[in-house]
């Protein structure tokens, strides 16, 4: 929070006000546990994060806990705080971060890593866990990046692997028994020992590390704990979800109400980390979602509600849900958004249901232009699927469609890249066919991401393209697509993707690079105007590391990996089998429609997905 007398000196002062609609207010004197929920990016990004809303709700449901929030300030406010020696404080009560019992930091994106250190430093907290005084807060992390905790491990006392709704209660119950703050190192050490016994909690200081081949790899602290197992909420319908979410003062990145309809995905795209680390598929019931949607709209006043899921159209009762929500919300002129749509599941009837109030944006993700490459990545959609989906959208009145592709995928050729341009041309031709004289209104936003190998995926061993390779492929696309006035092409930044790949698959040596980058000014790297590739390269050079070489060097499939001690449920054997299928150009069907492929998640849950019985392994 920025003091009132300084607000006129910063851009976007609404970021620092607090006091939002639906904010939780408690008397700090009446609670025994103080938890600061921190997002290492600016306010309008952090307030769009559904997971943070859930955890804020879960923690504040406890009478003994006050969960407050902090976000990373924009660069002008950061400079102001440092110049005035003003500690970063919570939005709710203006309490400095160093005065909380626990800091919980979301690791949503690798390019936020330097911002984590900046946030700690602004809060007056020692960067490395090993150097912290016993009275300093316990700093924990969670989120999708925690599935490879090693690059950030030295900065945290603990990392939560998996879903936090249940495990946070266990952590807070344990903390309550220790009556924080801690008086001496022995008590703090004893707390961490007890913390490590909670399923899904990784305490890095208790895991010795060894150099094993290319990587520094954690070793089990005892034979009875060879891995840290991911925590999974099996009954999503019974899991908490806030019916009165915060309404930000400043327009957020996703300026709408959001409701999570399902979690997990069984499609098995081989590049997709989320499809692995959020297994199994679980759904909230239509009845629960209908109740929540009505309560959320009444409590926020939004005129749009977005149905959050890895693939909305895979929700088993999606048409029924849309029909009921329209019945309830259309009189209030509330539109319904489907941000993630499978092109093989979007037809005329679904288009009709979605566009009743007003047409929100549509995004289709073919990922690759050629069928052969789609088969390699297991994106089980065809050109006919895309044509049918686009035609349904155009006939239902949409004139603006976003197409999402990826370049640099394993096995990709120039012909595969050019096939993206051919697909876009086919969409323009389809627009002329479906819209006739109105075809000039058609707009295609073509977003091209760069492949980044991610831990716990079949492509975790793959090499990433070099800067030169990425630049060559982007030039091929621009030469063919920039000529079309109806097409807006946006390509992700290649240097940022290379740094992300290095951090994604890093071991504990990456922590030294992150700290060096931070000390030389790195922060808010997810923002183009703040990212500096040369700064990251220089930071890596200080530790005898070449970032591009690390990212573009394949990993032998028999190598010990820095994240081998993290059990997300899906086995390495399954990932290897999927890698072999990719190299052979063969696909794996959605396991909800076919046989069980024995991915391993069955070891951790009673049922593979919530809308039916689990298949027996093949």
**Are the C-beta atoms of 102 and 37 separated by less than 8 Å?**
no
571 in any annotated domain: no
- Total domains in the chain come to 3
569 in any annotated domain: no
Per the structure, the complete domain to which residue 202 belongs is given by 4-229
Residue where one domain finishes, among candidates 196, 212, 229: 229
Strand order in the sheet with 400-407: 362-367, 400-407, 443-450, 487-491
**Are the C-beta atoms of 156 and 142 separated by less than 8 Å?**
no
94 in any annotated domain: yes
Are residues 295 and 206 located together in one domain of the fold?
A: no
384 in any annotated domain: yes
Are residues 35 and 182 located together in one domain of the fold?
A: yes
Are residues 398 and 461 located together in one domain of the fold?
A: yes
pLDDT at 609: 60
How far apart, in whole angstroms, are the C-alpha atoms of residue 161 and residue 144? Answer: 8
Q: Identify how many contiguous H helices and E strands the chain contains and give both numbers.
A: 19, 19
pLDDT at 330: 87
Are residues 181 and 328 located together in one domain of the fold?
A: no
Are residues 314 and 376 located together in one domain of the fold?
A: no
Diameter of the chain measured on Cα atoms: 77
Burial bucket for residue 479 (CB in 10 Å: 0-12, 13-18, 19+): exposed
Q: How many CB atoms lie within 10 A of CB 55?
A: 22
Are residues 203 and 92 located together in one domain of the fold?
A: yes
CATH number reported for the structural domain that contains residue 612 in this entry: 3.30.750.210
23 in any annotated domain: yes
Please compute, for residue 132, the number of CA atoms within 13 A of its CA located in the half-sphere on the CB side.
26
Are residues 190 and 258 located together in one domain of the fold?
A: no
Q: Provide the whole-model pTM.
A: 0.95
Are residues 79 and 182 located together in one domain of the fold?
A: yes
pLDDT at 65: 98
Residue written as token pair 């160093």: 98
Are residues 126 and 171 located together in one domain of the fold?
A: yes
Pick the closest to residue 410 from 456, 367, 364 (CA basis): 367
CATH number reported for the structural domain that contains residue 438 in this entry: 3.30.750.200
Are residues 178 and 279 located together in one domain of the fold?
A: no
559 in any annotated domain: no
**Are the C-beta atoms of 277 and 575 separated by less than 8 Å?**
no
Weakly modelled stretches of the chain, pLDDT under 50: 610-618
Residue where one domain finishes, among candidates 229, 254, 287: 229
Are residues 83 and 202 located together in one domain of the fold?
A: yes
Q: How many CB atoms lie within 10 A of CB 244?
A: 16
Are residues 315 and 404 located together in one domain of the fold?
A: no
pLDDT at 615: 41
**Are the C-beta atoms of 151 and 209 separated by less than 8 Å?**
no
**Are the C-beta atoms of 510 and 502 separated by less than 8 Å?**
yes
574 in any annotated domain: no
Phi, psi dihedrals of residue 210, rounded to the nearest 5°: -135, 150
Residue where one domain finishes, among candidates 187, 202, 229: 229
Burial bucket for residue 5 (CB in 10 Å: 0-12, 13-18, 19+): exposed
DSSP 60-112: HTSTTEEEEEEEPPPHHHHHHHHHHTPPPB-TTT--BGGGSSEEEEE---GGG
347 in any annotated domain: no
Phi, psi dihedrals of residue 140, rounded to the nearest 5°: -120, 165
């Amino acid at each position: 929070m920025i003091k009132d007398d300084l607000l006129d000196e910063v851009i976007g002062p609404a970021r620092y006000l607090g006091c939002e609609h639906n904010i939780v207010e408690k008397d700090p004197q009446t609670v025994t546990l103080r938890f600061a929920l921190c997002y290492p990016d600016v306010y309008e990004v952090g307030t769009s994060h559904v997971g943070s809303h859930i955890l804020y709700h879960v923690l504040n449901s406890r009478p003994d806990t006050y969960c407050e929030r902090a976000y990373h300030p924009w660069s002008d406010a950061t400079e102001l705080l440092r110049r005035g020696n003003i500690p970063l404080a919570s939005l709710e009560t203006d309490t400095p971060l160093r005065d909380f019992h626990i800091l919980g930091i979301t690791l949503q994106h690798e390019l936020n890593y330097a911002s984590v250190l900046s946030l700690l430093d602004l809060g007056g907290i020692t960067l490395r866990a090993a150097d912290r005084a016993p009275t300093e807060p316990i700093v924990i992390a969670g989120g999708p990046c925690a599935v490879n905790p090693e690059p950030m491990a030295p900065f945290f006392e603990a990392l939560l692997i998996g879903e936090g709704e249940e495990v946070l209660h266990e952590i807070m119950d344990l903390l309550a028994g220790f009556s924080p703050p801690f008086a001496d190192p022995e008590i703090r050490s004893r707390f961490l020992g007890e913390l490590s016994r909670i399923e899904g909690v990784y305490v890095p200081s208790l895991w010795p590390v060894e150099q094993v081949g290319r990587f520094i790899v954690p070793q089990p602290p005892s034979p009875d704990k060879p891995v840290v197992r991911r925590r999974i909420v099996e009954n999503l319908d019974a899991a908490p979800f806030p019916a009165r979410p915060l309404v930000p003062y400043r327009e957020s990145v996703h300026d709408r109400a959001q409701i999570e309809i399902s979690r997990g995905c069984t499609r098995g795209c081989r590049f997709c980390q989320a499809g692995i680390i959020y297994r199994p598929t679980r759904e909230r019931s239509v009845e629960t979602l209908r109740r929540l949607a009505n309560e959320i709209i009444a409590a926020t006043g939004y005129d749009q509600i977005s149905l959050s899921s890895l693939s909305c159209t895979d929700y088993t009762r999606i048409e029924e849900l849309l029909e009921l929500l329209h019945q309830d919300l259309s009189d209030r002129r509330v539109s319904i958004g489907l941000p993630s749509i499978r092109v093989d599941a979007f037809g005329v009837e679904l288009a009709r249901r979605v566009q009743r109030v007003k047409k929100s944006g549509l995004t289709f993700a073919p990922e690759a232009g050629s069928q052969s490459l789609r088969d390699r990545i297991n994106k089980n959609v065809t050109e006919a699927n895309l044509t049918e989906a686009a035609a349904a959208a155009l006939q239902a009145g949409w004139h603006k469609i976003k197409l999402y592709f990826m370049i640099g995928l394993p096995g990709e050729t120039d012909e595969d890249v050019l096939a993206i341009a051919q697909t876009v041309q086919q969409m323009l031709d389809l627009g002329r066919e479906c819209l006739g004289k109105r075809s000039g209104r058609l707009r295609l936003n073509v977003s091209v991401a760069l492949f980044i190998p991610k831990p716990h995926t079949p492509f975790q061993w793959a090499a990433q393209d070099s800067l030169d390779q990425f630049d060559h492929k982007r030039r091929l696309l621009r030469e063919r697509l920039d000529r079309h006035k109806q097409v807006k092409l946006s390509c992700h930044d290649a240097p940022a993707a290379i740094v992300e790949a290095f951090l994604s698959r890093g071991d504990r040596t990456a922590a030294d690079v992150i700290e060096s980058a931070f000390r030389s000014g790195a922060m808010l790297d997810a923002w183009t105007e703040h990212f500096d590739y040369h700064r990251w390269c220089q930071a890596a050079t200080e530790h005898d590391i070449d970032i591009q070489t690390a990212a573009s060097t394949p990993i032998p499939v028999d190598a010990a990996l820095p994240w081998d001690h993290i059990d997300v449920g899906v086995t390495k054997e399954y990932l290897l089998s999927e890698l072999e299928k990719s190299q052979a150009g063969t696909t794996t069907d959605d396991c909800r429609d076919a046989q069980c492929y024995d991915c391993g998640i069955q070891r951790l849950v009673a049922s593979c997905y919530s809308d039916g019985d689990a298949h027996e392994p093949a």
